[in-house]
A and B are shown apart, each in its own frame.
Chain A
Amino acid sequence: MVSLISQWILSLLIFFPLLGALFVALTKDVQKARHLAVAISVIEMVLSFHLIAHFNADSSAMQFAQDLAWLPHGSGIRYTVGVDGLSLLLVILTTVLCPLVFLSSYSSIENNVKSFLALFLVLESAMIGALVSLDLVLFYVFWEAMLIPMYFIIGVWGGKDRIYATTKFFIYTVVGSLLMLVAFAYLYYAHYETNRIFTTSLIELYKTAAALPADTQLWLFAATALAFAIKVPLFPFHTWLPDAHVQAPTPGSVILAGVLLKMGTYGLMRMSIPMFPEAAHTAAPVMITLGVIGIIYGALIAWRQTDIKKLVAYSSVSHLGFVVAGMFAFNELGFTGALYQMVNHGVSTGALFLLIGVVYERRHTREMSEYGGLAKQMPWYAFFFVVATMGSVALPGTGGFIGEWMILNGVFQTSPVLATLAGTGVILGAIYMLWLVLKVVWGPLQNEENKKLSDCNPREAFILGTLSVFVFATGFLSTPMLAHTEPTMKKLQQSVNNKEAYKTELVIHRGSDEPLRVMMQR
């Protein structure tokens, strides 16, 4: 039974929300549709725990793999999925955040509710799909499929300038994706040139790509890295993010910051770096530098914003600068820190966007000057706000600290100067976040409107409380969590530093208890 589930679990995780979307769309009653969406996402979350329970933490292989025929045989395009230490944490992050997001939509989404819920479930499918795809075309399909629901979520349920923001979001991402597609196509033919066989299997193409001449590698690296850098977003490709965040409805902002941005950093770690190790080495100083610029640049801009959402949006630019800098340090500290920080950023920034949503729904403004002194009127809200802030400024005891500490430590081992510059982000982060807290939570309660505000209701308290627990749980339980990722990070580090192809294999669970290890059968 277990191995049967293990065999199908990833496909189940991908298609269950998609199926759920259909049911949600067909439900007549809006309120029931809301409950149904929550139930589906909770079931999805529980299903995803199967991965944790049965993941072999000593292996860097692609586990729970499935490799089925998909497109016409000669094309070499197959339905191949699998999960390793890199994608595992991000899949869990996605499935855990989604129920919270659906819960938050009870009050934040009031029009076209069913369409929203259905689109969001489609988005969840696409996100999981992109994270577990091991076939370039399959990955690309999911990658683009993520874009479409998000385009509508911002464009239909967004704020005043939603059309401008969502068009910008769409165009930026699509331009990047097309470059990535060109790179994939090149690899596809390059593989045919040498092997006389077409394949889009990521595992096969790792070998092909790493064997390419250095200058070709560099071009292909640039094309894929640009696509992912836009998604991250890495300085200077970040200008779509503040607009998208400010215009998106609360659930959209949460999932954008929580998961969608991580697709960029995930892509860099899954594709750009292991595919083109030679080029990655050449580009590393540039990438770390861009990351460090992003840290400082994003932080200083964040500090000067008066729109709360814009402040948090720019803080993401700063935080993800850390992630990119960390992974291009090419040591275990940097890789592990980068991965862990993706999760932590999802938790703390997700919490911050939810917190903004709570007061936005009550006051319909995001201007900092409209608030102040909320601690008096909303003590629990203030508590959650301070906890999320502490997570965001990477206080020891929160997961953010572990991530940032590993990243800075990792970068320091290769470039002390850049690490020191990145370290100033630790100070600047405290400045803009505490400034936000000062202006929103502390100070006198003067605005008459704010004197009528009610504190978090049980539903809001549950969402924010759960995230608050995660903020601290990630701060103390990093060892068991990261134990799952270690072999993958180690292999990544070795293959990059030896400038050799990233080797991995599929572990396919069959009827028998012994999973089949497949190097590559085609």
Chain B
Amino acid sequence: MNYQTMLAAVLLIPLLGSVLNGFFLRSAPRLVTVTVATLAIAIPFVLSCLLVFGPVSAGEVVRTDLFTWISVPFNEGRLEIPFSLTVDRLSGILLLIITGVGSLIHLYAGEYMSHEKGVYRFFAYLNLFVFSMLSLVLGSNMVVTFLGWEGVGVCSYLLIGYWYSDEANARAGMKAFVANRVGDLGFLLAMFMSVKLFGTLDYAQIAEALTNELAANNGPMLTAIGLCLLLGVTGKSAQLPLYIWLPDAMAGPTPVSALIHAATMVTSGIYLMTRMSFMLVHSPEAMTTIAVIGAATALFAATIGLVQNDIKKVLAYSTVSQLGFMVLGCGVGAFQFGVAHLMTHAFFKALLFLGAGSVIHAMHHEQDIRKMGGLIKKMPITGWTFVIGTLAIIGFPGLSGFFSKDEILYYAWSGTFGHPLLWATGALAAACTSFYMVRLTYLVFFGESRVEHAHHHGHGHDDHHHHHEVHENPLAMTLPLMILAVLSVIGGYVSMPHAIMHVLGIHADENLITQWLSPVISAAKQTMIAAHGDAHGSAALEWGLMGTSTLIMLVMSGFAISLYKAGPKGGESIAQAVGGLYRLILDKWRIDELYQAVIIEPLKKAGDAFFKVGDRAIIEGIINEGPRGIYLVTSVLSDVQSGLVRNYLKVLFIGIVALCIWIFI
């Protein structure tokens, strides 16, 4: 099999899996469904490894054109949009994450969903999601990416609302779709502007067409493209102001939260910005806006995470916050560390979500952390892997999050578009992260058990005998946890800071991730250096910032442990001291209510007014005055209309005769 075929197979096998499960294996045993679905991701993973560690790692770009998708004459030439796939260094990383982490999550989900009926639907959606996600990252042009971009939105919609019998779940799905659509409009407009400016939507061709001269003459247009792309990013990657859908998306089954709402779909924005980095860096305005949005989201979401009591909600806000870090990284010009954090986050956040799912599964859908505690004794694998995930996300030295997050924070200060204030915002967000993650871990796994048994009485579930004892889950669920835990520990070494490399005696100019991504981001880097000079960092600054964040992390973690040592009531004294603020944060800053009042309700009122006043009163009023007169006459005549077809046909005949006479004369 040549590499082109392999690339096509990577994309199409998950689609095949989805079709098989969705149409042909509806009544197959669960084991068949799960096996088909998992293989449909695992085989592409193997192929992806061959591709990425073969030609891509050797510096090649593998491209395959499947068919011509859209082809229209345009401005004397043609606008050709082939359905074309490309794997390069950037899409290679994402390919491995999507299929690798995806396989683990499929394996896990087979067990997690084992009590569900009609599980084929779940796996058909999940495979379809992977297909969409792959077309997003493999697309050679913006339109194929957009197919994936909206495709993941639809799959997300279907999976969030998987348990559709509860209308709240279906509503959460709809909210996600609509919020994403707002962002998609930005993506669409960015495409139209690119067509106008470059006459093509192929990434490589745009990069070629975007000369310095063109950039200098079209500054405002490039800024507009950048900001429209940013709008798309805020929708898909859950940034301010469109992040509101992600916390609600937790209504979906937990493997979905792990795959879609932590590891893959929500990181699409980071992918897109890195893909378009060569263009974005031409506009300092767009870059600064991106950085500010990222930093603000990181902090804003982290504050909400401080007070949530639902295990998945804490992780959801944490995801929004971590995505903010990645966007911040891109915004200050350190795209490679945005991608590095994307990768490490995919490992540890998938781990945390799957761990949470393991807890929820064992606790029979209990999600309130106030009703947990001491679970590490009963679920040691889930517990300890969760601890590793937490240490990774809070940036404990040596674990993956430490490297990737610290690089982002360092560049937030010293990067081309960096500023100490951006660093400070990020550091504050990191402080909140340490607090809420340690609080979460401690309340769930340590201290006294607060698990209740009483509320299960009276339930008529068939698996009633399971309800009394919380215990560790089977290997199909714990194996993915263990693999992800290992990755969460070692995944960060690709983005080792210079200062540490120096101490360790590694003599390389760049760390691994920078080397790996250099073909993708070198254009952006050159533009930044040409326009703004070299980045203004130093080893001393790097050490200083690293030390500061480690200190902050240790202090906040210690603070969280001391506060919650005696259970969830520990935080109440602080909550009471800042009563109003606490309630505001607990209500998520009431942003949903704000949107409801300022956007949704006025639109509803407009719709009603258009119908009642616009259509009924004004248009009908004006136009119907004539017809109404005629109508009165016809209603007199309608006595003649006996409803018999014969009579109508008589009228028809007379009419046609009259018409013919009139034409001939």
Interface residue? B645 (CB, 8 A): yes
Interface residue? A8 (CB, 8 A): no
Interface residue? B450 (CB, 8 A): no
Q: How far is the CB of A311 from chain B (nearest CB, A)?
A: 11
Q: In the complex the two chains form, is A444's CB within 8 Å of B166's CB?
A: yes
Residues of chain A from 400 to 443 with CB closer than 8 A to chain B in the complex: 401-402, 405-406, 408-409, 412-413, 416, 419-420, 423-424, 426-427, 430-431, 434-435, 438, 441-443
Q: Which residues of A contact B171 (CB under 8 A)?
A: 438
Q: In the complex the two chains form, is A409's CB within 8 Å of B191's CB?
A: yes
Q: How far is the CA of A403 from the CA of B631 in the complex (A)?
A: 39
Interface residue? A171 (CB, 8 A): yes
Q: How far is the CA of A375 from the CA of B619 in the complex (A)?
A: 39
Q: How far is the CA of A427 from the CA of B531 in the complex (A)?
A: 38
Q: In the complex the two chains form, is A413's CB within 8 Å of B643's CB?
A: no
Interface residue? A490 (CB, 8 A): yes
Return the contact of B185 from the options A141, A144, A423, A444 (Cβ within 8 A).
Answer: A423
Interface residue? B174 (CB, 8 A): yes
Q: In the complex the two chains form, is A236's CB within 8 Å of B619's CB?
A: yes
Interface residue? B184 (CB, 8 A): yes
Residues of chain B from 589 to 611 with CB closer than 8 A to chain A in the complex: 603-604, 606-608, 610-611
Q: Which residues of B contact A482 (CB under 8 A)?
A: 71-72
Knowing A144-B659, A479-B68 are in contact, say whether A442-B161 is a contact too (CB < 8 A): yes
Q: Which residues of A contact B188 (CB under 8 A)?
A: 405, 408, 423, 426
Interface residue? B572 (CB, 8 A): no
Q: Which residues of A contact B503 (CB under 8 A)?
A: none
Q: Which residues of B contact A141 (CB under 8 A)?
A: 659, 663
Q: Which residues of A contact B659 (CB under 8 A)?
A: 141, 144
Q: Which residues of B contact A395 (CB under 8 A)?
A: 150-151, 154
Knowing A137-B663, A301-B610 are in contact, say whether A413-B195 is a contact too (CB < 8 A): yes
Q: Which residues of A contact B143 (CB under 8 A)?
A: 396, 405
Knowing A373-B165, A397-B151, A479-B70 are in contact, say whether A423-B189 is a contact too (CB < 8 A): yes
Stretch of A148-156, A260-268, A278-286 contacting B (4+ beta carbons < 8 Å): A148-156
Q: How far is the CB of A270 from chain B (nearest CB, A)?
A: 20
Q: How far is the CA of A388 from the CA of B140 in the complex (A)?
A: 28
Interface residue? B181 (CB, 8 A): yes
Interface residue? B53 (CB, 8 A): no
Knowing A115-B645, A396-B143, A420-B189 are in contact, say whether A443-B607 is a contact too (CB < 8 A): no
Interface residue? A112 (CB, 8 A): yes
Interface size class of B (residues with CB under 8 A): 35 or more
Q: How far is the CB of A387 from chain B (nearest CB, A)?
A: 11
Give per-residue flags for B206-246: 1 if the beta carbon is below 8 A from chain A beta carbons, else 0: 00000000000000000000000000000000000000000
Give per-residue flags for B132-143: 1 if the beta carbon is below 8 A from chain A beta carbons, else 0: 000000000001
Q: How far is the CA of A483 from the CA of B73 in the complex (A)?
A: 11
Interface residue? B177 (CB, 8 A): yes
Nearest-neighbor residue (CB-CB) of A404 within chain B: B188
Knowing A156-B648, A412-B192, A438-B170 are in contact, say whether A486-B73 is a contact too (CB < 8 A): yes
- Pull 22 A–B residue pairs with CB atoms less than 8 Å apart, ordered by A: A72-B664, A148-B652, A163-B638, A171-B630, A171-B631, A172-B623, A172-B627, A237-B623, A300-B606, A333-B74, A336-B72, A397-B151, A402-B70, A405-B70, A408-B192, A412-B192, A413-B196, A423-B185, A438-B174, A442-B164, A442-B170, A478-B70
Using A405-B143, A427-B178, A438-B174 as known contacts, list a sample of 11 further A-B pairs with CB atoms less than 8 Å apart, ordered by residue number in A. Answer: A112-B645, A141-B663, A163-B641, A171-B631, A239-B615, A239-B619, A300-B603, A396-B149, A405-B70, A413-B195, A476-B69
> Shortest 9 CB-CB distances between A and B: which pairs?
A442-B170, A300-B607, A412-B192, A304-B607, A396-B147, A442-B164, A443-B167, A332-B73, A115-B645
B interface residue numbers (CB < 8 A to A): 67-74, 79, 83, 143, 146-147, 149-151, 154, 157-158, 161, 164-167, 170-171, 173-174, 177-178, 181-182, 184-185, 188-189, 191-193, 195-196, 603-604, 606-608, 610-611, 614-615, 619-620, 623, 626-627, 630-631, 634, 638, 641, 643, 645, 648-649, 652, 655-656, 659, 663-664
